[in-house]
Amino acid sequence: MVRIREILALDPLAGFELLAGAGGLDNVLTNVTILDYETDSMDFSAFQKGDFILTSLFFAKDAPQLIVDAFRELLRRGIAGIAVKTVFYKTLPADMLRLADAMNVPVFAYHAASMEEIILAAHSYMLAKEQRELAAMRLDAMLGFGRAPSAVAESVRALDAMLYPHCVASFSTPREGGALNLGQKMPVPLFSDGQYSAFFPYHDGLLQLYTAADAERLAGAEDAMLRAYESCGVAPAAWRTGFSAPCHAYDFFDAVIRQSLYSNRVCRCFEKPRLRYGALGVYRFLPALLEDKSVLAEYRTALTQLRCFEEESGIPMLDTLSAYAAAHGSVEQAAKRIYQHPNTVRNRVKKARALLALDGDWYEQIFILMGLYALEQA
C-alpha cells in the first residue's frame, strides 16, 4: 500500500506544489498514469480508482471550461490525486480547487520534471515497497512457531534462491533518534567468491543474511557484514547490530534470524553497539518468552499489579526491582543505583513478593520479570 505523501519524497517530485486537497495526502494510489490527449467525448473510462494522474491539460488547451468538467468526471472514477504540468495553464480554476478540498483529492502543479521520469520513479518505489512487504511476510511465515524443517527450507528458497546453506544473520536498528531510511530502492545483494549477502528491511530494522558455499568461508563474517551494511548506507556507528551464531543448513535459517533479532533487542536494552548471540548469557532465553502467549499474559498481569501499587503509593517499585535484578540480587548495589537506603530496597522487594505471591524461587521470578520488562522497554 503506497500513499501519495510517500511518493512526494521522490526526487522527480521535488518541485511539486500542493494547490488543494491537502486532506487527501494519505490517499492510497495504485498507479501513476498520464492524461494528455484531446477528447471531445469527455470519455475518461481508461482511468481507475486509485490512479494518480499526470497531465498538461492538453485536452483543454483551447477550452478552459473543460477543466472543471473533466475533473468532476475523474473524481467520480475515484482518482487518488492529480498533478498538472504548467505548460498551457499557470493557474487552475477556483472551482476545481474547491472540489479538490471538498473531496480530499490532492491537486499539484509542477514545472520541470518529465512525466516519464515521474512515472518511472513512482513505479520503481511501488515495486520496491511491494518487494519489501512480500519479504517481510515471508520472514514472518518462516519465523512462525512449529514450522517443519522442510517448510523452513522452502521459505528460504522463496525468500531468495541465491542464498547459500551456511549462514550468519545480523539485524540492525538505528540508535535513538534515528530512523530507518534506506532510500527508494531495496539494498543490492552483494556477491563474492562463494559468498552472498542479501538484505531485507524488516519491521524497524535491516536484516542481513551473510551466506557461504562452505562453512570455512564464514570466517570473518561479522567484519564483512559491517562493511556490507556500509555499502548500502547503514553506518555501523549509528546503528545497533545483533549477530547470530553460524548455521549450516537451510532448515536452521529461522533459528539464526531469530537469534539476530534477539541479539539486537539486547543491544538496545543495554545500549551496546553490537552483540553476538553467544555472548548474551541468560538473555539468550528471555526474548523468546515475550513471544509466548501464556508467559506474556502472566507478565502483563504482574506488571499491572506493580503499576497499580505505584499509582496508589507513589513508590517507584519497577525502578527498584529493575535495579535489584541488575545488581543480581545485591541489596547494597541496588540501593546505590537508585540512591536509597538498603532497608528501603529490602522492604520494597518484600512488598513485591507479597503483591505477586512469589515463593520458593522468588528471586529467579523477579529476575525474569524485570528482564522481560527491560527488553520490552528497549
355 within a domain of the structure (yes/no): yes
Identify the pLDDT of residue 7.
Answer: 92
Domain of residue 236 covers 144-284
125 within a domain of the structure (yes/no): no
Provide the CATH number for the domain around residue 159: 3.30.70
Task: Tell whether 269 and 303 lie within a shared domain.
Answer: no
Identify the pLDDT of residue 354.
Answer: 93
Task: Tell whether 211 and 326 lie within a shared domain.
Answer: no
Gyration radius from the chain CA atoms: 28
Nearest 5°: the CA angle 171, 172, 175 is 150
129 within a domain of the structure (yes/no): no
Task: Tell whether 237 and 369 lie within a shared domain.
Answer: no
Task: Tell whether 276 and 299 lie within a shared domain.
Answer: no
| Residue written as grid cell 521522490 | 10
> Strand pairing partners for 39?
none
Provide the CATH number for the domain around residue 107: 3.40.1390.20
Cell of 205: 530494522
Task: Tell whether 39 and 82 lie within a shared domain.
Answer: yes
Identify the pLDDT of residue 184.
Answer: 47
Residue finishing a domain among 227, 259, 284: 284
Got the DSSP string for 259-321?
Answer: HHHHHHHHHHHHT-SEEEGGG-GGGGTHHHHTT-HHHHHHHHHHHHHHHHHHHHH---HHHHH
Task: Tell whether 264 and 305 lie within a shared domain.
Answer: no
The SS3 of residue 105 is coil
Task: Tell whether 265 and 327 lie within a shared domain.
Answer: no
194 within a domain of the structure (yes/no): yes
What's the CA gap between 146 and 223, in Å, rounded? 33
Residue type, 48: Q
204 within a domain of the structure (yes/no): yes
Provide the CATH number for the domain around residue 329: 1.10.10.2840
Task: Tell whether 197 and 88 lie within a shared domain.
Answer: no
169 within a domain of the structure (yes/no): yes
**Residue whose C-alpha is closest to residue 20's, from 96, 77, 84:** 96
- Structural domain total, the chain: 3
132 within a domain of the structure (yes/no): no
Q: What contacts 161, CB < 8 A, 6 or more positions away?
A: none
Task: Tell whether 200 and 232 lie within a shared domain.
Answer: yes
Identify the pLDDT of residue 359.
Answer: 86
Task: Tell whether 256 and 328 lie within a shared domain.
Answer: no
Residue finishing a domain among 284, 315, 347: 284
Residue finishing a domain among 259, 284, 309: 284
Q: How far apart are the first and last CA of the chain?
A: 28
Task: Tell whether 369 and 306 lie within a shared domain.
Answer: yes
Task: Tell whether 320 and 271 lie within a shared domain.
Answer: no
Identify the pLDDT of residue 180.
Answer: 56
Give per-10-residue mean pLDDT for the chain (378 aa): 92 94 94 78 84 92 88 92 93 93 94 92 90 86 76 90 95 75 59 88 91 93 90 82 96 95 93 94 89 89 94 94 92 94 94 91 93 89
Identify the pLDDT of residue 38.
Answer: 57
DSSP-assigned letter for residue 22: G
367 within a domain of the structure (yes/no): yes
Answer yes or no: are the C-beta atoms of 23 and 104 closer than 8 Å.
yes
